[in-house]
Structure 1
C-alpha cells in the first residue's frame, strides 16, 4: 500500500483512504489494483521477455482498459528495471531530475517498489509517494516530479500514455527542490 512522506515536516501519511485523499488534494490520481492478478510465476521476475510482458498486460487487461477509457489513454506498455538492467544507473539519472510532461505520467506497479517525488501546493512543498504492487498513480501534466526506485532497485510497472509515441520530459529547474 502506498505511503506518503512530506519532505518539509517528515510527516508520513498511511492507509489507502488517507493516501487517496491527500493525493486528490494535490490533483494526483491514486487507485489500487489487486496485486494477485499478477501471474504468480512473474511476481518476483524483474527480467522479462516480450512474452512475459504480454502476459502481464493480458492479466491486467480489464484494469488497463477501464483506466484508459476514463482518462483518455491510447497506448500502454511494461517497464521492468532491476540491477540486471544494462546501464541502470544512467537510466535512473535521467529519471531523477525534476521535470514535467505535456500529458499525465501514469504508473501501475505490478511488482517491486518505486517512488514518485512530486511538487505539491505551496503549503505542502515536495512529497514522496512510496509505491508497491497494486498501487496506481497518475501525476498530471505540467506538475513537477520525478520517479526513481526504492532501495531494492527493482520494479515492474504498466505505463499508460495519451500520445502514442509516449511522453517527453521537460526539465524543471526548481530552487525549492532539495534531494534528501
Structure 2
C-alpha cells in the first residue's frame, strides 16, 4: 500500500482512503491491483526474461486493458531495475531530475519498491509517494516529478503510454525543490 510523506511538514499518510483522497486532490491517479495474482516465482525476481515479462503482462491483462481504455493508453511494457541492471547509477541519475512529460507517467508496481517525488499544489509543495507491489500511479502530463528506487534498489513495473514511442522527459528547473 502506498505511503505519502509531505516534505514541507514531514507528515506521513498511510491509510488507504487518506492516500487516495490526498492524491486525488493533487490530480494524481492512484489505484491498487491485487499483488497476490502474480505467480510466486516472479515475486522477487528483478532480472526478467521476455517470457517473464509476457507472464506479468498476461497476469494483469484485464487490469491493464481497463486502465488503458479509461485513460487512452495505447501501448504498455515492463521495466525492471535492480542492482543487476547494467549502469544502474547512471540510469537513476537520469531519473532523479525533476521533469515533466507531454503525457501521463504511469507505473503499476508488480514487485519491489519505488518512490515518486511529485510537486503538489502551492500549499502542499513536494511530496513523496512510496510504492510497493500492487500500487498503480499516474502522474498527469505537465506535473513536475521524478522517480527513483527505494533502499531495496529493485522494482518491476508495468508502464503505459499514449504515444507508441513512449514519453520524453522535459527538465523542470525549480529552485523550490530540495532533495
TM-score in terms of structure 1 length: 0.99
Cα distance in structure 1, aligned partners of 2:69 and 2:16: 23
Q: Quick check: 1:167 aligned with 2:167?
A: yes
Is structure 2 residue 172 aligned with structure 1 residue 176? no
- In structure 2, the partner of 1:146 is 146
**Counterpart in the other structure of 2:33:** 33
Partner residue, 2:125: 125
Q: CA deviation at 1:15?
A: 1.3
Q: 1:111-139: CA deviations, max 9, x gaps?
A: 00000000000000000000000000000
Equivalent runs, 1:1-180 vs 2, <5 Å: 1-179=1-179
Please state how far the C-alpha of 1:26 moved relative to its aligned partner.
Answer: 0.2
Structure 1: 4+ residue segments shifted above 4 A: none
CA distance in 1, matches of 2:79, 2:50: 11
Give the distance between the partners of 2:149 and 2:26, measured in 1 at CA.
Answer: 22
Query: Unpaired runs of 5+ in structure 2?
Result: none
Residues 49-90 of structure 1: per-residue CA shift (max 9 Å, x gap): 011000000000000000000000000000000000000000
Between the aligned partners of 2:57 and 2:85, the Cα distance in structure 1 is 20
Shift of 1:16: 1.1
Count of aligned pairs? 179
SS in 1 for 2:68: helix
Q: Shift of the alpha carbon at 1:37?
A: 1.2
SS of 2:48's partner is coil
Aligned partners of 1:101 and 1:22: how far apart in 2?
22
Query: How far apart, in 2, do the equivalents of 1:149 and 1:15 lie?
Result: 22
Q: How much is the aligned-residue C-alpha RMSD, in angstroms? A: 0.3
* Superposed displacement of residue 39, structure 1: 1.2
Q: SS at the partner of 1:67?
A: helix
Report SS of the residue matched to 2:31. Answer: strand
